[in-house]
Copies of this chain bind each other. A is one copy, B any other.
């Protein structure tokens, strides 16, 4: 049985109120700065970038910051234990390439983006802005949304900090 807490119902229960409030929070409100490498970078240099920037995922981009691939610690670890020479291997070989990448946008509600992270079992999503190059639709990388961002938001909302920060 649920313990009684000191408030009255107003037609909606507490969890509906959570949904109402949380639906106002967008990806742009909590996203991180993206860490990118060129598609021709070696797997070794991509790992060095991960450690220098202390991130679990880097994005491979073409000129203009156009999203080409996603490289996670898991991707690199798989290659590394296979006994391959990471110096000689471009990230192109091991990254998850477009159009297989699940993306989000700055305007998407955090809740929908967090659901993409869970449903697709990924650690992070590139935050992108759709644009057009020579008639093709491409995505420019503008941010990074991680499980850490979502977990931090959960903690902040739970501590009652959400109301002022995200409205």
Which residues from chain A sit less than 8 Å from chain B, CB to CB? 1-3, 5-8, 10-24, 44, 47-48, 50-51, 56, 73-74, 76-78, 80-81, 86, 111, 114-115, 117-118, 147-148, 150-155, 157-163, 167
CB distance from A77 to the nearest CB of B (A): 5
Residues from chain B with Cβ under 8 Å of A152 in the complex: 118
One complex includes copies of this chain to the number of 2
A15–B114 CB distance below 8 A: no
Q: Is the CB of B17 within 8 A of A12?
A: no
Could you say which residues of chain B place their CB within 8 Å of the CB of A77? 47, 50, 73, 76-77, 80
- CB-based nearest B residue for A161: B15
